[in-house]
Chains A and B, each alone.
Chain A
């Protein structure tokens, strides 16, 4: 249960800057999506929150405490890896109980806690099986079990559905969201799939080339993209973008494209020069009257 504040976070790998001065706040209990194409810095941001990478500069606050230079083991967070990273030499029970054992919890209590978690995830029957024989979905559940068993202050998930079959992903996504609602813990979720982000997230940060492009609620990002990148990245099929050069007067309610006046939903402030007109495909309809 924690609020996470990211302030001017920056990460450089040699000459390459993976994350450039990101700032955003993740509220307590939120299901928060870090969205962007491959190599945009979303995973690096997540790994910095986890403590698996240390930031070059900037601060991270978890629950009010500054943690940016602390090791992962001291941050009280749980991390779900894309490839699950279940310990292959341990069975399911040992995998789930591993974070509790590190805290020195008595074994009777560990057993009780593990069975409780296994019950929530529906994997009680698998507890004494080796992890090597499990299906992708079951591995995912064990990885989630290992994450939730310790009641961490927040969950960090790096494309946790990326390794699953397409049909199973949707099912698992619902399960994940339900689990989040039940636990109420802050969840930070990295994905490159905008559909997943729109469906599951309370808030989304869209990143590109290490820069935060936009930060807000899914619907707001869809309706009011802050940049052309966001406009193109969100929505399927993508938004139509037409560049035009025209003068728009103060208080205008339409723009002119190729001699055609098109009404816009918002009153515009006056501007001049190279402009981009964006329209979502679903907002277009064909008409047989001449324009």
Chain B
């Protein structure tokens, strides 16, 4: 039996990641400076302003899903102030699913340094207010996401083995590009992902979720075998063994190299 983190109504996390969430591209750099001053996760993106139509609700919802993910301990929203996705509104919305949410607005915080300083203080306060709550976890509390971007791979046997071991399983095959499938799996609340990237795509990661990369037989994967945790010649049992270790806290290769970006789904051009 392994231990995880009880993250209130979001469920059990196998990681305890504080998320510094920039609500707009204009605040991504300030968010990064805040995250660098802590042991927190952030990501660069190009959304939050100049978006229209379905993208407004889509991006807003995507950010909400990120904040509601079980691996997230607390969230600091960093906004600019004049953007389409308003951080105080986003912050209020996130509070419904994640009590440990605060927000910080650059235009109201006295500049870059002011925002970085008060952002770091707010994030530290969140850590103090919502300390780690370690609990024993069972396999049926874990959703394993499978990114099957590689059409050559049949994951039936692996899926059966995971289910037999008690895990919940979500499989996404929507795209041949893992970054898009990771976003889907995040929304499905997968706490850990087993990725079979397309043979023309490299091993990659998702900042909030440990990703186990499994290499195919193509030349790119063969040449970059060191970036993969396992290969498709490994048995389902070997995958399950590594999975158990990762759930228990062992870092995947993607976590070690902090490789991978988060990509939000978009429909329409920016205006």
A associates with B: no
**Chain B contact residues, CB within 8 Å of chain A:** none
**Chain A contact residues, CB within 8 Å of chain B:** none
